[in-house]
């Protein structure tokens, strides 16, 4: 019974969010003390995800997570970092192929439909205008309406990897 429960837990985790982070290894992240969330873009055909409230919620989540890392949000002065983000949602279709038929000598193809939500967060050095850090959070959902409830978690998990560790 324990083996079954562990197997189900691992299978559930495998379909969770995927977070990828890239950063400029030459950037000195200790010098960044202030930020401003500049641009947010929403590219979704779903009205639940493509509205000003979602845009504001993502910006607030980003500001909260960066403040927790010790950075200060500034509005009237020049920040060290400009933050831009993009949320996209698209209908995807994958084809899975696996052995089937008599003694496995055939193949069977199955179409799997899902909606993929991707949140990209860019941190740009204001003095050089160059990208210094990027997080890409992907949440696979069958229902795009459920993606809205995952946005805060996507932002939080992205900033768990900020500032990056030098190798």
User: What is the tens place of the pLDDT at every residue in 104-135?
Assistant: 566 666 665 545 688 899 999 999 989 999 99
How far, in Å, CA of 89 to CA of 86, rounded? 10
Backbone angles phi, psi at 48, to 5 degrees: -65, -35
How far, in Å, CA of 79 to CA of 2, rounded? 52
Can you give the pLDDT at residue 46? 74
* Cα 68 versus chain centre, distance: 18
The two structure tokens encoding residue 151: 């946005």
Instruction: State the Cα angle at 129 between 126 and 131, rounded to 5°.
Output: 100
Per domain, the residue ranges of the chain are 16-159
Give the residue with greater pLDDT, 166 vs 156: 156
| One-letter-per-residue 3-state SS of the chain | CHHHHHHHHHHHHHCCCEEEEEECCCCCHHHCCEEEEEEEEEECCCCCCCCHHHHHHHHHHHHHHHHHCCCEECCCCCCCEEEEEEEEEEEEEEEEEEEECHHHCEEEEEEEEEEEEEEEEEEEECCCCEEEEEEEEEEEECCHHHHHHHHHHHHHHHHCCCCCCCC
| Residue 10 in this model has a pLDDT that exceeds 60 | no
What value does the mean pLDDT take over residues 91-99? Answer: 60
Q: Among 20-34, 42-56, 59-73, 138-152, where is mean pLDDT lowest?
A: 138-152
Q: What is the pLDDT of residues 30-41, one digit of tens each?
A: 999 999 999 888
| Residue 75 in this model has a pLDDT that exceeds 70 | yes
What value does the mean pLDDT take over residues 51-65? Answer: 93
Q: Among 63-67, 68-72, 89-93, where is mean pLDDT lowest?
A: 89-93
Indicate yes or no: pTM above 0.95.
Answer: no
Give, in words, the CATH class of 16-159.
alpha beta
Can you give the pLDDT at residue 133? 94
Handedness of CA 82, 64, 49, 136 (dihedral sign): positive
Can you give the pLDDT at residue 44? 76
């Amino acid at each position: 019974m324990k083996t079954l429960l562990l197997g189900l837990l691992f299978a559930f985790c495998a379909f969770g969010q995927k977070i990828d982070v890239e950063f400029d290894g030459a950037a000195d992240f200790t010098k960044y003390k202030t930020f401003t969330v500049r641009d947010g873009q929403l590219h979704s055909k779903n009205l639940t995800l493509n509205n000003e409230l979602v845009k504001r919620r993502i910006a607030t989540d980003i500001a909260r997570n960066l403040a927790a890392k010790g950075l200060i949000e500034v509005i009237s002065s020049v920040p060290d970092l400009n933050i831009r983000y993009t949320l996209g949602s698209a209908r995807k279709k994958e084809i899975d192929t696996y052995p089937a038929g008599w003694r496995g000598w055939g193949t069977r193809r199955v179409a799997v439909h899902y909606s993929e939500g991707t949140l990209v967060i860019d941190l740009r050095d204001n003095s050089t205008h160059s990208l210094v850090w990027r997080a890409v959070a992907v949440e696979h959902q069958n229902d795009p309406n459920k993606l809205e409830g995952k946005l805060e978690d996507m932002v939080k998990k992205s900033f768990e990897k900020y500032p990056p560790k030098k190798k």
